[in-house]
A and B are shown apart, each in its own frame.
Chain A
Amino acid sequence: MKTPEADIQQAINDPRLQLAIYTATGRLIDHRAAVVSAEALPDYQALRNEANAIKKHTIENLDYYLEQLESNMIAHGGKVIFCRNGEEAADFVLDLAKKRDLHMLVKSKSMTSEEIHFNERLERHHLEAIETDLGEYILQLAHQRPYHIVAPALHLTRYDVADVFSKELGVEKEVVIEKQTKLARGVLRQKFLEAGIGVSGANFLIADSGAIVVVENEGNARLSTSAPKIHIAIAGIEKVIPRAQDLAVFLNLLGRSATGQPLTVYTSFLSGPRRDNEIDGPDEFYLLLLDNSRTKLLADPEKRQSLYCIRCGACLNHCPVYRKIGGHNYPWVYSGPIGAIITPQFHGVNQDTWLPFASSLCGACAEVCPVKIEIPKLLLKLREEVVEVKRRQDSDGMERFAFQLFAWIATHPKIYLLLASLGSIFFPLAPRIGPLKKWASQRTLPEPAKQSFHQWWADRKGGQ
């Protein structure tokens, strides 16, 4: 796909949207800064180093920890289902719902389920999947995908929400945020109590415990995993960490990096169905472990660090590109800098070739990444690969010709000097015509020096 220039231009020219993105990401930036400062968290850099080392070790030995997770989960009475792709994950859920004669499920926020278009797949087979995170619920009603990994409805104002609720739920337009929230609570509460299946994502999979960890603020994930008789968790295979004690590192980083909370309101550590002595909780527990191209990505020793991501969204908030173009101009559910590095790896570098170039390489993303993914370095690597693919496809013969021509000129001094002096005469015209027009439309071109270096050198008689 080519750069969606028209859409990007539209986003940039929409003052309401620009204000919404700028304000929301700005708040998230401030909240994070307050809790990772040297006074608030003296060990912040040490925690990042530990998180990176733990992720690196786990990813380099991923098969071992997946099998350990699986056997410990089975020991707690849970079932582990490996899924090659979204179709296999959806088929498992559809099949289970059919066997149990269930027609509706409640769902808490999961980027992994967004990635595989989980709800759409189920709905095609008449299994209703209801998003229960407030932001996700609004988006489901509005038929939109998440704008941001952590704050999915970041781009919508209370007035947009009033329109969506009034259109989809048939209620009076209500613009008071507290009342909108209460309305959603009422509708969704009934669903929680009726649903036979609750689906959640997982922020971490704990190998030594056979457990999943889910963090959230609203309580909808707790409800989805506690009220229905069946709990299904969907997670990418890269989410595993070795030990429950590693949570001391990751939980101290995740909430702070995402929303500036030392801990989110609810942190649920779940392992299997309810035990014999427990009154409530699910009777059945399934963990769907999703590949969906992750193993393909794993094969590159340098780029596999993209799998360390814990989806905090800090790189989006701090990215000057994301903050201008917004989330929906990225081609996939993962937006921002992390989206720019994982999308080409999941979909192939020959798709969306503009994506690795949509960065100023300022390095803000790498600076705030809690697991220290070298995002700018990976962007450069991907740019290299894009160029290589294009070269092989020979789709850019013009560029190759231009560089060959330049090489010839640069190795013939007399011609070089002639063209250089011509260039300084015609240069001021360049921005208005020819190939530089577009480039110069966003930049101020430097004036050519009045005297060339060669001229200066000759005038000074060799610099004496």
Chain B
Amino acid sequence: MTARDQILGNVRKALNRAAGQPPLFEAAPLPAPTLRIPRSDRSLYADLFVQKFEALGGKSFRVRDTAAVILAIADLLAQKSAVASNSPFLRKCGITGLPQVHAGFTEREDLKQACATCDIGITSVDYALAATGSFVMLSSHNEPRLVSLLPPAHIAIFPRSLILANLDELLSILPRPADQTSSMVLITGPSRTADIEQILVRGVHGPGEIYAVIVESE
């Protein structure tokens, strides 16, 4: 007997269930998903996001339109090398045209090399969550996984309209994220550890510095 059949068989025996039997709801009902989405003014989400994001140690910039992005992060990029994702929004902001920004990767090994050597990774986001100050990134051709992960600093540039209330609202919009991507990640603050003496240290494996650039007009 295969391990699979034996384990499923033992489960059924323990629970007194038959193969192929649908779930029973009488003795142990399954509550309907309860998504708690605060009904507040959407225009306040950016303020809340900034407050939560900075409390975690992130730094945020709010700019009027895409034309103002490069100026806002000029100091961060000075003397640094950066790798950018393929997000069309970054192109719109003029990021990919900057001399110190490596962009346009389509091969994994090239991308990995660039991410392992650059100082900064620049991405957009799919959503942001106000209640926790989180970025939500769905892996795709436009947003590979490693750009927000390998470089010691991460800058995310995104339109204000992508800020949702919280995790619950995200799950109401994406009830099954796996339909769209092999990887959805929520990033809530810089990489951190407290494994030695419960003392907080930032940047243990992922980026120790993270920045959010919120474009108000979009």
Chain A interface residues (CB < 8 Å from chain B): 20, 23-24, 27-28, 43, 46, 50, 53-54, 56-58, 60-67, 72, 76, 81-84, 88, 132-135, 138, 151-154, 156-158, 161, 177-178, 180-181, 184-185, 188-189, 192-193, 206, 208-211, 217-220, 222-223, 225-227, 237, 242-249, 251-252, 259, 261-275, 277-281, 285, 289, 291, 295-296, 298-299, 304
Contacts and interface: CB of A to CB of B under 8 A. Distances in A.
Contacts of A267: 185-186, 188
A159 B76 CA distance: 36
B132 interface: yes
A337 B144 CA distance: 42
Interface size range on B against A: 35 or more
A220 B206 CA distance: 7
Contacts of B178: 72, 76, 206, 209-211, 244, 269, 271-272
Contacts of B116: 189, 193
A181 B204 contact: yes
A373 B159 CA distance: 43
B71 interface: no
Interface string B31-55: 1011110000000000000000000
Given A153-B195, A226-B145, A53 B31 contact: yes
Interface of chain B: mostly helix, strand, loop or mixed: loop
Contact of A65 (B23, B150, B182, B206): B23
B93 interface: no
Contact of A134 (B24, B146, B172, B193): B193
Nearest to A242: B30
A393 B18 CA distance: 36
Given A267-B185, A280-B144, A298-B15, A84 B195 contact: no
B185 A266 contact: yes
Nearest to B21: A64
Nearest to A75: B178
A185 B7 contact: no
Given A189-B205, A244-B175, A249-B34, 18 more contacts: A53-B31, A60-B24, A60-B27, A61-B28, A62-B11, A138-B195, A153-B196, A188-B205, A209-B178, A220-B205, A244-B171, A252-B167, A265-B191, A269-B184, A275-B181, A278-B145, A280-B139, A280-B145
B196 A156 contact: yes
Contacts of A244: 171, 174-178
B35 A237 contact: no
A84 B140 contact: no
Interface in B160-204: 167-168, 171-172, 174-179, 181-199, 201, 203-204
Given A157-B197, A220-B205, A248-B33, A278 B191 contact: no
B156 to A, nearest CB: 14
Contact of A177 (B6, B25, B184, B196): B196
A177 B202 CA distance: 11
Contacts of B4: 82
Contact of B195 (A63, A67, A133, A271): A133
Given A63-B17, A280-B108, A295 B11 contact: yes
Interface in B134-151: 134, 139-141, 144-146, 149-150
